[in-house]
Amino acid sequence: MKGTKDYYPEDKRIQNHIFSVWKKIAEKYGYEEVEPPILESADIYKKSGQEIPKQMYTFKDKSNRLLTLRPETTPSIARMVSQKSLPKPIKWYSISTCFRYEAPQSGRSRQFTQFNLDCLGTKSIKADAEVILTAIEIMKSFNLTKKDFYIRISNRKLFQDLLNNLNLKNTQQIARLIDKMDKISKKDLELSLKDLKLSQLQIKNLFKILETKDLEKIKIKSQGLVELKELFTYLKNYNILNYCKLDLSIMRGFDYYTSTVFEVFDTSKEFRAIAGGGRYDELAKDCPGVGYGMGDIVLTLFLEKKKKLPELKKEIDYYVAPINEAVIKQAIKITEKLRQNNNVEIDLMNKNLSKQLEYANSINAKNVVIVGEKDLKNKKITIRDMKTGKEKKVNLTSII
Amino acid sequence: MKGTKDYYPEDKRIQNHIFSVWKKIAEKYGYEEVEPPILESADIYKKSGQEIPKQMYTFKDKSNRLLTLRPETTPSIARMVSQKSLPKPIKWYSISTCFRYEAPQSGRSRQFTQFNLDCLGTKSIKADAEVILTAIEIMKSFNLTKKDFYIRISNRKLFQDLLNNLNLKNTQQIARLIDKMDKISKKDLELSLKDLKLSQLQIKNLFKILETKDLEKIKIKSQGLVELKELFTYLKNYNILNYCKLDLSIMRGFDYYTSTVFEVFDTSKEFRAIAGGGRYDELAKDCPGVGYGMGDIVLTLFLEKKKKLPELKKEIDYYVAPINEAVIKQAIKITEKLRQNNNVEIDLMNKNLSKQLEYANSINAKNVVIVGEKDLKNKKITIRDMKTGKEKKVNLTSII
């Protein structure tokens, strides 16, 4: 299947490594794992912006219901919190398979796995800060530093107020253009803004806004500004200000964000956003929320590029090699005894010893237990250390 | 969505417990995790029997290709091994989300997760024995005993030879009837067999076969009989014969099984098969295999019924409770320090102390760190043990 991937053991080990970092950090911060179903009603993605609904796998089931393979997890999380009365804040994470019908290319796959971390039930900006902190902690756990990544942060309310202040009306269209800023030249952006009937002065002022690096220089009255200032204060308290940049050009394509929006970005600007999220106070009924998603595909490419993926191999403590069928009963006994505390394999193909050693080597076995007839008569077995090649005879009674 | 499930934290904890047992046993026996994609071409399920193709979610994507949400994993595994040259035996497991459009009822869900364990690349019956052993080890790891479950074992070749010996031709139809034996009365089965033109004697002899409990009593010449005897010898060597029963009525609905077939069954016969598998030597090109699937839905119901599910709670070591906004900076410092080795939460809702204690209690926090202004002036904090209710003052310097 074009655009999907078979995870062989070497791929799955890497993916499991990534999953384990996600889990470790989420749980350290008190987030609990949840899992919504993969099949959802198509209508919950109405607020997922322009792009996503176009990329959805939607089909009718045998009862003629319109189903979608989830393209993202936030709408399901919003649905789940609205179905139950839960103590607040609700701190959840999920590691969810998602589907988007995109043209297959580097960094994209039609099936991917997304880590989502969400804090719901509170409007406090403290939650925004904590959520951003977990994203930074995840990146740091992969041994990435501030040379490798940073967080771009904006606020939808502030952006809206700044546009209003310039007397700009068609703010949604402008936002969509700016969302594509990284992909087009400044000149093309300017032309497109002119097409939207912006004056030269408005365009100049808009670019000024997009380049603002210092919150203190913004002088308008805006709830979004208050929120952003509060957020940066908490980020300072958490001592992570050096990972964070104000960037009012951050849009995120989703219509449900209402306030804070942010992206984890590589400093080399080679990849798409590694993670993205924000505050969505209107998505779930009476339950504000803030969170982000981090996909495994771009992250894996990024970690590969930065050489931050550990070398992971199959871990086998003992491979038990029976010399022939006559010793099989004893070999099985030894195997099962060793399995009480170790990962152990035994021959399943009636291979001769040299073929068995070859296989033991291919699976990276630390030791090979050679079970021979002669040895057994003396109540011995031979253990070979596969790293050093050294062999030692061991009393059978010391094992079984 | 009817027939699918939202996994809230309490559900996901149970599922993760089950996943961790699956992983632990699979890895102890040297099986490595793989993961095929959820979307597959519909045509790989042609050998999956009569039922499954009827229950598949199949739809056309935007390129007009016929896609299926995988209803089971074995055909994907067979596809994966045939795509690569790999050292043999290939020992793989997977924990895969699968989809079947069944009428929602107890023990069934349209989305479920299946553990699959497969040993490929060898025709040796040793592999069949090991695979069955892992299923037993999994059940034992859930603290289930031979009072709770047993393995029913048959062999397709032997069954075929026994039917041939009775001069029965329409063996596939007969097999399908027998497959439903548990759901219909013996009398109805007899009537249906008569409809298939079986004589009274043939029916009598067929029932005799189905009731055979001792391999030694079967006197025909059959490769399947040789295999079964070898299998039972290995099961004896592994000391698991007391979990295993010969049961020639085991069919498994899948057309791709060629030899050994088996089911993990509850002794009370209350549930559907908890696991099922067999040998499929013709499914992958030039690569014989044996394996089984164990779904999470029936297993969870079974473990619930047997009271074998542990009580799993959220694990929080410390909840940090700042008394007011003035102490927040210090509270954050304490929190982050404690997080180096613990799971820690801090207030995200500006709650007063009594509400914070209430929340800390609801999330099962072991300790609450109370950060007050007065305490801080004396460079102290208060730690409350939530189990005993006892409080102690601790020097701030001992933490940060």
Taking the CA of residue B194 and the nearest CA in chain A, the distance in Å comes to: 35
- List, as ranges, residues 222-281 from B with C-beta within 8 Å of A: 234, 237-239
pLDDT-derived band at B48, boundaries 50, 70, 90: confident
pLDDT-derived band at A2, boundaries 50, 70, 90: low
From chain A, the residues in CB contact with B101 under 8 A are 61-62
Rounded distance between C-alpha atoms, residue A114 and residue B285, angstroms:
34
**Residue A370 confidence (pLDDT):** 98
Taking the CA of residue B343 and the nearest CA in chain A, the distance in Å comes to: 4
**Residue B2 confidence (pLDDT):** 64
B54-58, B117-121, B230-234: least confident range:
B54-58
**Residue A123 confidence (pLDDT):** 97
Query: Residue A7 is which amino acid?
Result: Y
What's the whole-number average pLDDT of chain A?
94
Q: What is the mean pLDDT of residues A121-148?
A: 98
Residue A188 has pLDDT above 90, yes or no: yes
Is the CB of A125 inside 8 Å of chain B's CB atoms?
A: no
**Residue A212 confidence (pLDDT):** 95
pLDDT in tens, A244-262: 999 999 988 888 999 999 9
- List, as ranges, residues 11-30 from B with C-beta within 8 Å of A: 12-13, 15-16, 27-30
Rounded distance between C-alpha atoms, residue A327 and residue A346, angstroms:
12
Q: How many CB atoms lie within 10 A of CB A395?
A: 10
Residue A85 has pLDDT above 70, yes or no: yes
Is the CB of B110 inside 8 Å of chain A's CB atoms?
A: yes
- List, as ranges, residues 331-360 from B with C-beta within 8 Å of A: 332-333, 336, 339, 342-350, 359
User: In the sheet where B344-346 sits, what is the strand order?
Assistant: B344-346, B316-322, B365-371, B380-385, B391-395
From chain B, the residues in CB contact with A364 under 8 A are none
From chain A, the residues in CB contact with B363 under 8 A are 30, 87
pLDDT in tens, B166-180: 999 888 889 989 988
* The pair of three-digit structure tokens given for residue B160, joined into one six-digit string: 């075929």
Residue A1 has pLDDT above 60, yes or no: no
pLDDT in tens, B246-271: 999 998 888 899 999 999 999 998 88
ipTM of the complex: 0.95
Is the dihedral angle over the CA atoms A271, A304, A291, A268 positive or is it negative?
A: negative
Residue among A9, A38, A88 whose CB faces B34 most closely: A9
Rounded distance between C-alpha atoms, residue A292 and residue B140, angstroms:
40
B385 by DSSP, 3-state: which?
strand
Query: B127 or B177: whose pLDDT is higher?
Result: B127
DSSP A78-136: HHHHHHS--PSSEEEEEEEEEE------TT--SEEEEEEEEEES---HHHHHHHHHHHH
From chain A, the residues in CB contact with B28 under 8 A are 339, 342-344
Contact A343 B87 (CB under 8 A): no
Provide the terminal-to-terminal Cα distance of chain B, rounded to the nearest Å. Answer: 49
Rounded distance between C-alpha atoms, residue B385 and residue B338, angstroms:
15
Rounded to 10 degrees, the C-alpha dihedral B220/B224/B226/B232 comes to -120
Q: Which helix (H) or strand (E) holds B391?
A: strand B391-395
Contact A29 B343 (CB under 8 A): yes
> pTM, whole model, 2 decimals?
0.96
**Residue B104 confidence (pLDDT):** 67
Whats the size of chain A, residue-wise? 400
A227 by DSSP, 3-state: which?
helix
Residue A104 has pLDDT above 80, yes or no: no
Residue among B15, B40, B62 whose CB faces A1 most closely: B40
Q: How many CB atoms lie within 10 A of CB B135?
A: 26
**Residue B261 confidence (pLDDT):** 97
Q: What is the mean pLDDT of residues A313-326?
A: 96
Residue B49 has pLDDT above 90, yes or no: no
Q: In chain B, what are the domains?
A: 9-305 (3.30.930.10), 316-398 (3.40.50.800)
Is the CB of A212 inside 8 Å of chain B's CB atoms?
A: no
From chain B, the residues in CB contact with A35 under 8 A are 6-7, 12, 15
Question: Which of B384, B367, B362 has its CA nearest to residue B375?
Answer: B384
A211 by DSSP, 3-state: which?
helix
Residue B347 has pLDDT above 70, yes or no: yes
Compute CA distances A242 → A83, A150, A291, whole Å.
39, 8, 21
**Residue A393 confidence (pLDDT):** 96
Contact A344 B28 (CB under 8 A): yes
What's the whole-number average pLDDT of chain B?
94
Strands (E), B141-235: 149-155
Q: What is the mean pLDDT of residues B94-108?
A: 84
User: In the sheet where B39-41 sits, what is the strand order?
Assistant: B39-41, B66-69, B57-60
From chain A, the residues in CB contact with B5 under 8 A are 37
Mutation target to probe the A interface, by most A beta carbons within 10 A, among B6, B76, B339 is B6
Q: Which DSSP state fits A32?
A: E
For β-strands A39-41 and A66-69, DSSP reports them as antiparallel
Residue among B33, B122, B238 whose CB faces A16 most closely: B33
Q: What is the mean pLDDT of residues A282-294?
A: 96
DSSP B93-149: EEEEEEE------TT--SEEEEEEEEEES---HHHHHHHHHHHHHHHHHTT--TTTE
Is the dihedral angle over the CA atoms A136, A138, A141, A144 positive or is it negative?
A: negative
Contact B87 A359 (CB under 8 A): yes
A229-243, A343-357, B62-76, B332-346: least confident range:
B62-76
From chain B, the residues in CB contact with A91 under 8 A are 345
* The pair of three-digit structure tokens given for residue A34, joined into one six-digit string: 């949840």
- List, as ranges, residues 358-377 from B with C-beta within 8 Å of A: 359, 362-363
Contacts of A248 (CB under 8 A, 6+ apart): A154, A158, A159, A162, A209, A210, A212
CB B92 within 8 A of CB B32: yes
